[in-house]
């Protein structure tokens, strides 16, 4: 299953890049492996997949130990009491939404490791149930992360509401791209160069809007196991 799915997803990404006149290398695939067993993740790694995204810390830690050569991305809500483990074991975080969390991650990042890659999570539609910094506060948060020696400001991340149609999602992704362009004007070259947006059902739309990372779970691994059944 994973072999066929992996090929199918990569064909979709390639086709979307061609449609948008973008180089295939400009879009990276983040395999969302939350709730999936290590054996399945290793099978994806054997096919050439290198980046994996996890939401649940305790579920992720044994996988990181079992496959340390992979690149591990924390893509869930970051709680203060989990920042030490996240900073210690992950390579990237796709959800920094406050100076407090950034400061804690910076303080906990081991000195022998490279800076932790950070994506700022942006809340474009003011969803109270979803984490994220308001667009007008993103510049201040970006400046704070830039001042943290153990963090590296990689890019922005955003998730449109699940109820959005594809056209509404396109507007959302375009707004995130516009915000990235605006923020980069005040930052050094090469900073904030990535956009983490788009999932299994809308990756083509996200790529058309400038996504450089698409987070794909179900299209690769099948439907996920509910957290309460872990």
Domain boundaries of the chain, sorted by first residue: 2-223
Q: Where are the beta strands (DSSP E) in the chain?
A: 28-32, 51-54, 71-74, 92-96, 116-121, 151-157, 194-196, 213-216
Q: Which residue has the higher pLDDT, 226 or 51?
A: 51
Task: Write out the CATH class of domain 2-223.
Answer: alpha beta
Dist. CA 142–CA 119, nearest whole Å? 9
Residues 123-177 pLDDT 10s:
998 766 567 999 999 999 999 999 999 999 999 999 999 899 999 999 999 999 9
Q: How confident is the model at residue 223 (pLDDT cuts 50, 70, 90)?
A: confident
pLDDT at res. 210: 98
Q: What is the pTM of this model?
A: 0.94
Q: How confident is the model at residue 1 (pLDDT cuts 50, 70, 90)?
A: confident
Residues 60-71 pLDDT 10s:
999 999 999 999
pLDDT at res. 128: 65
Nearest to 169 by CA among 116, 209, 122, 224: 209
> Is residue 20 predicted with pLDDT exceeding 90?
yes
pLDDT at res. 225: 58
Segment 33-52 shows an average pLDDT of: 96
> Is residue 230 predicted with pLDDT exceeding 50?
no
> Is residue 190 predicted with pLDDT exceeding 90?
no
| Identity of the highest mean pLDDT range in 25-34, 127-136, 185-194 | 25-34
Least confident of 90-94, 126-130, 137-141, 215-219: 126-130
Residues of the chain above pLDDT 70, percent: 95
Average pLDDT, the chain: 94
For 33-165, where are the alpha helices, taking DSSP H only? 38-46, 57-66, 83-89, 99-108, 138-146
Dist. CA 230–CA 125, nearest whole Å? 31
């Amino acid at each position: 299953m994973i072999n066929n799915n992996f090929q199918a997803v990569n064909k979709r990404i390639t086709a979307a890049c061609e449609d948008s006149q973008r180089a295939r290398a400009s879009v990276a695939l983040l395999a969302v492996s939350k709730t999936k067993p290590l054996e399945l993740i290793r099978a994806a790694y054997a096919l050439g997949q290198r980046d994996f995204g996890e939401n649940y810390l305790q579920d992720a830690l044994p996988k990181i130990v079992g496959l340390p050569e992979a690149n591990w991305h924390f893509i869930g809500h970051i709680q203060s009491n989990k920042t030490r483990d996240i900073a210690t074991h992950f390579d990237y975080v796709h959800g920094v939404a406050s100076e407090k969390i950034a400061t804690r991650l910076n303080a906990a990042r081991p000195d022998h490791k490279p800076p932790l890659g950070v994506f700022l999570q942006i809340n474009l539609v003011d969803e109270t149930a979803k984490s994220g910094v308001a667009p007008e506060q993103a510049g201040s948060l970006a400046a704070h992360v830039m001042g943290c020696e153990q963090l590296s400001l990689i890019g922005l991340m955003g998730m449109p509401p699940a109820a959005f149609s594809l056209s509404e999602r396109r507007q959302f992704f375009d707004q995130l791209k516009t915000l990235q362009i605006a923020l980069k004007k005040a930052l050094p070259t090469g900073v904030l160069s990535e956009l983490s947006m788009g999932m299994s059902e809308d990756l083509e739309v996200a790529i058309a809007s400038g996504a450089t990372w698409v987070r794909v779970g179900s299209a690769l691994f099948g439907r996920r196991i509910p957290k309460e059944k872990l």
